Amino acid sequence: MQKKKKNVILENIKLLSAGAKGVSVGKTEDGKTILVSGAVPGDLVNARMKKSKKNYIEAEAIEILEESPDRVDARCMHFSVCGGCKWQNLSYEKQLEFKEDEVLNNIRRIGGIDGFEAVPILGSAEQYFYRNKMEFSFSNARWLTLEEVNSTEEIADRNALGFHIPGQWSKILDLKECFLQEDPSNNIRLAVKEYAEENNLEFFDVRNQEGFLRTLMMRQNSKGEWMVLFQLFEENETERVKLLDYLLQKFPQIHTLLYAINPKGNDSIYDLDIQTYYGEGFLYEEMDGLRFKIGPKSFFQTNYKQALELYRKTLEFADLKGDEVVYDLYTGTGTIAQYVARNAKQVIGIEAVQEAIDAAKEHAELNGLTNCTFYCGDMKDIFNQEFLESHPKADVLITDPPRDGMHAKVVEQILNLSPEKIVYVSCNSATQARDLAMLKEHYNLVKVLPVDMFPQTHHVENIALLIKKS
């Protein structure tokens, strides 16, 4: 048996462009495509091979020989370890250029479609501090640097409050700073850790499933009101009350303070009983005159300002005159449905998650929208011929599916429904392009607009407008 080659170093690799998931793409001397992590397009690198496939090589940069002219200094001290903002060392202008290229290339290559209007990408006004929700984990076995691992001295400080290390779920990076959520996010997190250590509160032990403090979630609205939620592995009423009272006294921005006891094997909050310690247990958010009630389990776009731009552009693409019936597939909590409802005759939203549908109905009532109807069920099952026959025909269809895109049965039903216009919002232009290919025989792709919801990352949203062929 032939032994696997180890530690193969590929030298003088010029990285030419950006690839999927934030890697940089280059060519080897023999013309084979190489996908390199840990570098930016324009860099000249030496790289260590990780995997060799038939058509490409995966590698990681081990030495930057020449820096790209588009390289910038990463702002965060945790860059490259955290794994959250992989493009923080690439200029924002180039980030936008590569995101736009990815969308257009996917539609042309995967979708086999051309001749559409490519509206320039809509960049985010804020490249940092744009998230309105962050989640952090407590650990009594923090991630150690290589220097600490190789040290002969005993490391006493092992507590952490921060993010999971990519690929090492049991290890938590102890965050000193983060530039994703505005203050007092950093101040609250650091104050909680300091208080916990001074008062000998136990940080969670993920391997032995024991401890007291488990996770910390913070979210804020555009008014500067904050929600803070603790997951505790076990109840300790005396210490819990002291901790929560301390936070309320120190941070008057906290509008509501919550906790949940979670002895499970995972950190998911959706099946937990959330207790309200202070405040109403939720926040309100407003978007162009609409109000949304945001609880600890609510899904809401994490980049509020850019989400508002996304909804405005979706409405612009739909170009409603006021007499249309609109279907909103994968409606979630009904934010897009309600945003367009004021310009439509009737909106019908469909979503698989019952809690989301309950929230959509509550929001419609809150906003006085009587022309919205919401249905719950698996899209490929509920959106069937019987449904189409028992509801008004759609003039406009909006769809905003998860990353996997739409099931082939759903695409088939859209073709049966045959709306005059489709507005397809996507967080994954590759699966969107696949779906557009299934629609292109009956629909013209008129224009697309990439939208950057997550600066410093490779993620990009896209809005596509399709008009039925005559």
Known catalytic residues are 427
- What value, to the nearest 5°, has the Cα angle with vertex 369 and ends 347 and 394? 10
CB-facing half-sphere around the CA of 63: CA atoms within 13 A: 7
Separation between Cα atoms, residue 296 and residue 218, nearest integer Å:
9
Whole-number Å distance between alpha carbons of 405 and 426: 8
Distance, in Å, from the CA atom of 254 to the CA atom of 407, rounded to the nearest integer, reads: 42
**C-alpha–C-alpha distance, residues 461 and 292, integer Å:** 22
Longest pairwise C-alpha distance within the chain: 76
What DSSP element (H or E) covers 14?
strand 9-18
- Distance between CA atoms of 314 and 25, rounded to whole angstroms? 32
Q: β-pairing, 9-18 with 226-232?
A: unpaired
**Can you read off the two tokens belonging to residue 133?**
């929700």
* Contact (Cβ atoms closer than 8 angstroms) between residue 105 and residue 17: no
Q: Are strands 254-261 and 275-278 parallel, antiparallel or unpaired?
A: antiparallel
User: What are the structure tokens assigned to 170, written together?
Assistant: 């049991």
- Whether residue 316 is annotated as binding a ligand: the answer is no
CA atoms of 92 and 40, how far apart (whole Å): 12
Q: Do 192 and 215 form a contact (C-beta atoms < 8 A)? A: no
The answer to whether the CB of 208 falls within 8 A of the CB of 263 is no
**Sequence-separated (6 or more) residues with CB below 8 Å from residue 446:** 116, 117, 465, 466, 467
Distances from the Cα of 58 to the Cαs of 18, 47, 88, 220, 296, in angstroms? 14, 9, 21, 39, 39
Using the Cα atoms of residue 161, residue 163, residue 165 and residue 170 in order, give the sign of their dihedral: positive
- 424 annotated to a ligand binding site: no
Is 330 among the annotated ligand-binding positions? yes
Secondary structure class of 26 (helix, strand, coil): strand
In the numeric block, the tokens 């001749």 are attached to 115
Q: From 90, 85, 121, 82, select the one nearest 104 (Cα to Cα).
A: 121
Distance of CA 162 to the CA centre of its chain: 18
Q: Is 351 annotated as a binding residue?
A: yes
CA distances for 2 relative to 8, 55, 256, 321, angstroms: 15, 21, 62, 68
Exposure b/e, 262-287, CB count within 10 A at least 16 = b: beeeebebeebeeeebebebbbebeb
Query: Would you state the structure tokens that stand for residue 206, as one six-digit string?
Result: 């993920």
Binding residues for S-adenosyl-L-methionine: 301, 330, 351, 400
Binding residues: 301, 330, 351, 400
